[in-house]
């Protein structure tokens, strides 16, 4: 099997957080890729704010059902035994604390576990969707993101500067360079992606990084 890199590696690593039977919500974009990398023997109930319980793998173009799409308008699927519900019920799952984990993309995330992922002041955006509800109601918030902006500036900050979506809610951060666990005193570097060093991560991270004695390998 070819070595995974970039966003595929991020999605694959995030999928390894899940346990068999977990009830999980995946944000649009990169987080939705996680369904394509679930470990063998791990079956999930994937919930989408649009009203799907039991979302499946992303179908190929030409094999899609035009009546089944994800929150980003892309082709989606529903597994055997899955169901469709109204928005009221969908958000009751989230706000009621029934979701075990959520994977979200972000604009910024910081060392305190704050996340800013819904707006840039002065730019037109469609709205925050269900992100704020997820940050308030889900037990584990996993951020899946490119390590830096296209400009080269780190997205992993000491303190978010954009309007916050959630406060001190992020538990894990996965980028194409590494996996951080959010700790009480900073971000703990748990794993490095192949081809990257501790020095590479420190040079591209504004947040405080704690280096443990042992660091694993992302895969």
Active site residues: 49
Distance from C-alpha of 22 to C-alpha of 140, rounded to nearest angstrom:
11
Q: Distances from the Cα of 126 to the Cαs of 37, 39, 133, 193, in angstroms?
A: 29, 34, 16, 33
Distance from C-alpha of 118 to C-alpha of 113, rounded to nearest angstrom:
16
Six token digits for residue 97: 């604390």
Q: How far is CA 111 from the centre of its chain?
A: 16
> Is 177 in contact with 152 (CB distance < 8 Å)?
no
Q: Distances from the Cα of 2 to the Cαs of 5, 8, 16, 53, 219, in angstroms?
A: 9, 11, 18, 32, 11
76: exposed, middle or buried (Cβ count in 10 Å: 0-12, 13-18, 19+): buried
Q: Is 132 left (phi over 0), alpha (psi -120 to 50) or beta?
A: alpha
């Amino acid at each position: 099997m070819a070595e995974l890199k970039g966003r595929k590696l991020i999605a694959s690593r995030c999928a390894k957080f899940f346990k068999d039977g977990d009830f999980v919500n995946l944000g649009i974009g990169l987080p939705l890729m996680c369904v394509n990398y679930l470990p063998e023997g791990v079956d999930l109930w994937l919930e989408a704010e649009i009203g799907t319980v039991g979302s499946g793998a992303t179908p190929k173009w030409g094999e899609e059902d035009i009546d089944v799409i994800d929150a980003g308008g892309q082709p989606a699927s529903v597994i055997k035994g899955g169901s469709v519900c109204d928005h009221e019920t969908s958000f009751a799952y989230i706000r009621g604390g029934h979701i075990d984990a959520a994977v979200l993309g972000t604009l910024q995330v910081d060392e305190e576990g704050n996340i800013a992922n819904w707006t840039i002041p002065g730019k037109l955006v469609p709205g925050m969707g269900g992100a704020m509800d997820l940050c308030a109601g889900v037990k584990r918030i996993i951020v899946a993101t490119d390590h830096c902006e296209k400009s080269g500036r780190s997205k992993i900050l000491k303190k978010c500067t954009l309007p916050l979506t959630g406060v001190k809610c992020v538990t894990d951060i996965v980028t194409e360079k590494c996996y951080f666990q959010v700790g009480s005193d900073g971000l703990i570097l748990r794993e490095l992606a192949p081809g990257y060093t501790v020095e590479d991560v420190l040079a591209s991270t504004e947040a405080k990084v704690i280096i443990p004695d042992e660091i694993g390998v992302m895969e």
